[in-house]
Each structure stands twice: as C-alpha cells, then as structure tokens.
C-alpha cells in the first residue's frame, strides 16, 4: 500500500503527516490466530518531533484499535511543546540524549580514544545511509567541559528545552519514491526523516545529523531505525555559517536516542463494560458523549531481565550500581518492592505480571519510572564497559512483551539497546492536556441491539436514554495518570558521568550511532 503524505502547513515551516499501512501476511505464527479476511496495520508519523501519532492494529474481535496515546489535531503537538505546557512527549523521538544528564554538564575527551575498526560495536565504520567514511581531526585540548541547558530541576532532561521532540524534521525519503515502477511486489512501507542539530544547540557540541526510519512489515512489525553522525567541514552544506563551519571538525559529542510512545493495548477509543454509566450528556447538539478513561492497570508485562539500574532517591540519576532483583536482599530493595519491580521469570515458561499492583504500591504514588539493564546477546560484548556507540547493533534480542487481556493484543519488543525504561505515565494530567483523541458515529435507527466494542455492555437503539439524547455518539479518550505505558529502548541514563558506561554514548567523527528497535503486534484469542 502506498504511503499517504499530507501537507499540513507550509509557512512558516513545512509540516507533513505520513500514513503507512500494510496488509499482514496470512501465514503468521501458529500461536497467533488470524481470521480469513485480511488484516491491516497502519501507523501515522508527524514530521514535528518525528512523532508516532497513531498506530492501529486489530484485536481478538477483528476490530481496529488505536493503541498509542496522543492527539487527533497536529497543532496540539506544537502547543504541548511550548514553555509551561505539560509536554508528555507523545510518540516523539527524544535526543540528543534521552533521560537525564546530571547537573546539565559533562566533560568530554575530544580525541579519538580507539582505533577505527577495532570493534563491531561502536568503533567500526557502518553507515547504511551514506556509506561514507568521515576522517577524524582535532585541534582542541584533550577534553572540554560542556554546559547544557537545564530542563528539569538541575538536570538536562530529554535533550533540553529544545530537544528533538520540539523540532521540525525533514522528510528525505518514502518507500513510494524508492519502489520501481516495474516492481509488482508490494514494498513494505517506510518513511525516513532527518534532523540537523547545529553545534551548541542546548549546549551540545558538534553538528549532529540524525536520521530516523519508520517501517511497517508484513509480519505486523513497526521497525524504528536510527542513525546519527557528526558532520564535518568536508560534508557541510553551503548553509552552514562561518563560525559553525570552523567548529565542525573540532568536537566529539554524546548521543542517546529513543522513541517516547505511550502504549495502551486496550485501545484508546475502546470503552469498557461500564461505558453506559459514563454517559455524561450532550457536548454538542444531538450528541451523546462517552468518556473512555484509559488505563493500563490490567495490562501484563514480561521483561527479559531482572537487572535494575539504581537511581538516587533524592536525585533520580544512576548511582552506578546495577541491582539484581532476583537475588532478594542483595538488590538493595525490600522484598515487596523487589517483587513489584521484577517482571522476569526464573523458569523456562515466561510469566506475565499485572501492572496494577505496582502502580498502586510503589512509594510516591507515580508508579513505574525505572530503568532496566538488558542482558547482552551471545554475540555482543559481555562487559558493559565494552559497549560502544552502536550498542548491540546489529543484534536485536527480544526484551519485553506487553499484553492486554481484554483485547488480546500483544506487543513484543526487540532492540539493539542495552537498557529499557519502563514508565507508566504517572505524571500525566488530563486537565493539562488539550483535545486528545475522539471518534463519533451515528446511532442505529432500528430497534436492534448494538455494541460499541465487543466486550462492552450492549445498548439498544430504542433505549429510553438514547432516544432522549440524540442521533450520534461521541467517544472521548481521557489520558490521565496511568493511561499508557512507555517501554523505551535506551543507553544507560547519564552514562557520560560513569567511566564504565560512557563509551556507549560518546560519538566521534569516524563513528556512526546506530539503533534498531522492533515492535511486533499480534493477537492472542
């Protein structure tokens, strides 16, 4: 299926929306029940923030469900990026560094510390976008201190006040442009976006060129690939100003990217059984309104690790310790807390734990906001100090599974990253959000019973309350506390301040940052 590109705005800056969709392969895993008729998975990408705004897949009743939190109106993404807004980072690419940089400063060596080509993981030239080798040269001192812009407390959080989530990305390619006219085979749709971050933006050194590719596959996968490299004077565009041009070959930088999508596999516009009691009257003439209060408390989760990156209690940045939750008291946590945080299974059969108990019991009342250290694949460096700027790429081991018992939708995540952030939207506040997502449809005119969703209470068209209220139904998604869950592949937060970790985020001129994360959707009946 072709990529549908819509131009939303041209002035003062171009804003586009790309809709990707593909018919799934009917010969999927036997554990997944696929009905005779074709299923389609679709995703919508906004160039502002390179944000994933919608992802629609089918549930166990063969009904399409949008499973990501966000907005219907693209302008609301821009509004939430303004100072003073809640800014939940819905679906956005986070950079230059995801999570926190402690005290918003760091010291960085500017010289290449490792000979090119010595390791497959971070020190070998590998750039499938350009296949260009960038020579390294420097006239700076051995190290420089860089002060970043503060964006959360005393730290630089998610790249600063003008992070990648708040910038306009450029569309550089779609699958339609690359597919040959005589190619009759359906191309798996993709869109590739690029952002150039100038030297000094938010305090980060070096001119960084970042490329992100979103692609859907016939296996029901959303694949997100990332590339980032430092631009040199030889490769700079004519638009580079003289001062920045002189700086291009001087600085190394730090990079850690992720995608900040909030998942809700129940479907954000799929009312629960008590939906009839949630009818709140007319918002508009002839409309009956249902508030769908989104929640992931009944979702179940499995993680392929029991290791936790310890964060400070007063200052939530890593202490440098990796806690082993399966070792009980050695993990430095109380037994109840250890059980709540451990989503792994010690047996061969994977266990899935409900999110609800932890959301209710974790001290502070904000639920999960934790970083898990992932086990390396067999072919990757076994010591964390040997992880370079490419993480575990090209390996993408399976690290997490999220399920909705209600819809049967299952999400399996595989990634080349060494860590995974589990965040359950504890700081979301519906009152601080504008319009989120909604849908409306006409009520049936006959006396037959109908369902808003297969699991919901049946409503009759001749019901007295419906007859009094009007001819159409409006479902509004309410996205407050615990409305979704983020599972963010990431480098260790604040890695630059830890000698054993910093190689995974330091980018030199002869290197390419790489990441590949795969989100596979299926259905269990």
> What is the SS3 string spanning 327-383?
HHHHHCCCHHHHHHHCCCCCCCCCCCEECHHHHHHCCCCCCCEEEEECCCCCCCCCC
Other CB atoms within 10 A of residue 57 CB: 25
SS3 514: strand
Same domain for 380 and 322: yes
Same domain for 369 and 280: no
**Assigned domain for 186 exists:** no
Residue with tokens 């409900």: 354
Rounded to an integer, what distance in angstroms lies between the CA atom of residue 241 and that of residue 250? Answer: 15
Same domain for 400 and 320: yes
Per-residue model confidence (pLDDT) at position 298: 97
Closest CA to 98 of 493, 525, 508, 498: 493
Which CA distances in Å does 177 have to 44, 190, 274?
18, 10, 47
Rounded to an integer, what distance in angstroms lies between the CA atom of residue 521 and that of residue 316? Answer: 32
DSSP classification of residue 253: E
Same domain for 317 and 284: no
Same domain for 469 and 376: no
**Assigned domain for 356 exists:** yes
**Assigned domain for 94 exists:** no
CA-CA-CA-CA dihedral for 302, 221, 173, 175, to nearest 10: 180
What six digits make up the tokens of 284? 């508009």
Same domain for 374 and 290: no
Rounded to an integer, what distance in angstroms lies between the CA atom of residue 474 and that of residue 353? Answer: 33
Closest CA to 409 of 317, 521, 516, 485: 521
**Assigned domain for 39 exists:** no
Same domain for 332 and 350: yes
Q: Which domain holds residue 362?
A: 300-404
Per-residue model confidence (pLDDT) at position 338: 83
Residue with tokens 């690419």: 93
**Assigned domain for 103 exists:** no
Per-residue model confidence (pLDDT) at position 350: 60
Examine the fold and report which residue of 404, 427, 454 is the final residue of a domain before the chain moves on: 404
What six digits make up the tokens of 213? 């590719």
Rounded to an integer, what distance in angstroms lies between the CA atom of residue 106 and that of residue 147? Answer: 7
Count of structural domains within the chain = 2
What six digits make up the tokens of 354? 């409900």
- Give ∠ CA 62-215-194 in degrees, rounded to 5: 140
**Assigned domain for 196 exists:** no
Same domain for 306 and 290: no
Rounded to an integer, what distance in angstroms lies between the CA atom of residue 77 and that of residue 73? Answer: 8
Rounded to an integer, what distance in angstroms lies between the CA atom of residue 356 and that of residue 283? Answer: 32
Same domain for 361 and 313: yes
Same domain for 371 and 310: yes
Rounded to an integer, what distance in angstroms lies between the CA atom of residue 136 and that of residue 457? Answer: 65
**Assigned domain for 445 exists:** yes
Q: 159: Cβ–Cβ under 8 A, 6 or more apart, which residues?
A: 94, 95, 96, 97, 98, 151, 165, 202
CA-CA-CA-CA dihedral for 501, 126, 227, 157, to nearest 10: 10
Same domain for 388 and 315: yes
**Assigned domain for 306 exists:** yes
Per-residue model confidence (pLDDT) at position 32: 52
Q: Are 400 and 469 in contact (CB under 8 A)?
A: no
Same domain for 368 and 282: no
pLDDT of the chain, 525 residues: tens digit per residue: 889 999 999 999 999 999 999 999 876 544 455 444 578 999 999 999 999 999 999 999 999 999 999 999 999 999 999 998 999 999 999 999 999 999 999 999 865 433 333 343 443 333 334 333 333 344 455 678 999 999 999 999 999 999 999 999 999 999 987 665 545 456 899 999 999 999 999 999 999 999 999 999 999 999 999 999 999 877 666 555 666 666 666 789 999 999 999 999 999 999 876 655 555 544 556 678 888 999 999 999 999 999 999 999 889 999 999 999 987 655 555 667 888 999 997 544 467 999 999 999 999 999 999 999 999 998 888 899 999 999 999 999 999 999 999 999 999 999 999 999 999 999 999 999 978 999 987 766 544 444 555 555 455 444 545 554 456 888 999 999 999 999 999 999 999 999 999 999 999 999 999 999 999 999 998
**Alpha-helical regions (H) of 303-441:** 335-341, 356-361
Burial readout 387-396 (b: 16 or more C-beta within 10 A, e: otherwise) = bbbbbbbebb
User: Model-level pTM?
Assistant: 0.88
Rounded to an integer, what distance in angstroms lies between the CA atom of residue 148 and that of residue 155? Answer: 8
Q: 238: Cβ–Cβ under 8 A, 6 or more apart, which residues?
A: none
Question: On the CB side of 364, how many CA atoms lie within 13 Å of its CA?
Answer: 11
């Amino acid at each position: 299926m072709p990529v549908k590109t819509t131009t939303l705005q041209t002035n003062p800056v171009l804003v586009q929306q790309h809709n990707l969709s593909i018919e799934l392969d009917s010969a999927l895993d036997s554990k997944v029940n696929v009905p005779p008729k074709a299923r389609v998975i679709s995703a919508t990408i906004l160039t502002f923030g390179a944000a994933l705004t919608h992802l629609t897949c089918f549930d166990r009743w063969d009904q399409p469900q949008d499973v990501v939190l966000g907005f219907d109106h693209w302008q609301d993404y821009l509004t939430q990026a303004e100072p003073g807004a809640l800014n939940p980072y819905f679906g956005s690419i986070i950079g230059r560094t995801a999570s926190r940089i402690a005290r918003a400063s760091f010291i960085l060596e500017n010289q290449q510390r490792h000979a090119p080509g010595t390791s497959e993981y971070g020190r070998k030239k590998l750039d499938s976008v350009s296949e260009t080798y960038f020579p390294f040269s420097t006239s700076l001192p051995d190290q420089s201190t860089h002060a970043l812009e503060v964006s959360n407390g005393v730290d630089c959080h998610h790249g600063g006040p003008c992070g990648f989530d708040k910038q306009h990305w450029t569309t550089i390619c779609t699958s339609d442009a690359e597919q040959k006219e005589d190619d009759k085979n359906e191309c798996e749709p993709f869109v590739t976006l690029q952002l150039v971050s100038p030297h000094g933006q938010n305090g980060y050194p070096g001119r960084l060129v970042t490329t992100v590719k979103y692609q859907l596959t016939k296996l029901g996968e959303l694949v997100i690939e990332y590339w980032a490299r430092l631009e040199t004077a030889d490769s700079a565009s004519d638009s580079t100003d003289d001062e920045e041009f002189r700086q291009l070959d001087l600085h190394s930088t730090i990079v850690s990217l992720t995608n900040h999508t909030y998942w809700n596999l129940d479907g954000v516009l799929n009312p629960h059984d008590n939906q009839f009691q949630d009818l709140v009257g007319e918002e508009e003439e002839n409309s009956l309104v249902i508030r769908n209060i989104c929640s992931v408390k009944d979702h179940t989760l499995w993680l392929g690790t029991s290791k936790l990156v310890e964060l400070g209690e007063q200052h939530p940045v890593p202490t440098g310790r990796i806690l082993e939750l399966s070792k009980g008291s050695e993990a430095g946590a109380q037994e109840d807390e250890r059980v709540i945080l451990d989503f792994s299974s010690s047996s061969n059969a994977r266990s899935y734990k409900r999110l609800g108990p932890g959301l209710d019991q974790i001290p502070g009342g904000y639920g999960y906001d934790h970083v898990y250290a992932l086990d390396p694949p067999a072919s990757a460096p076994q010591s964390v100090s040997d992880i370079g700027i490419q993480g575990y790429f090209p390996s993408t081991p399976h690290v997490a599974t999220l399920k909705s018992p209600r819809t049967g939708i299952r999400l399996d995540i595989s990634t080349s990253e060494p860590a995974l952030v589990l965040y359950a939207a504890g700081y979301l506040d519906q009152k601080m959000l504008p319009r989120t997502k909604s849908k409306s449809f006409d009520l049936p005119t006959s006396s037959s019973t109908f369902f808003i969703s297969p699991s919901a209470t049946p409503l009759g068209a001749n019901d007295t309350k419906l007859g009094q209220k009007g001819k159409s139904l409006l479902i509004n998604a309410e996205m407050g506390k615990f409305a979704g869950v983020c599972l963010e592949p990431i480098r260790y937060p604040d890695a630059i301040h830890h000698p054993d970790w910093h190689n995974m985020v330091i980018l030199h001129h002869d290197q390419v940052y790489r990441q590949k994360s795969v989100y596979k959707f299926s259905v269990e009946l």
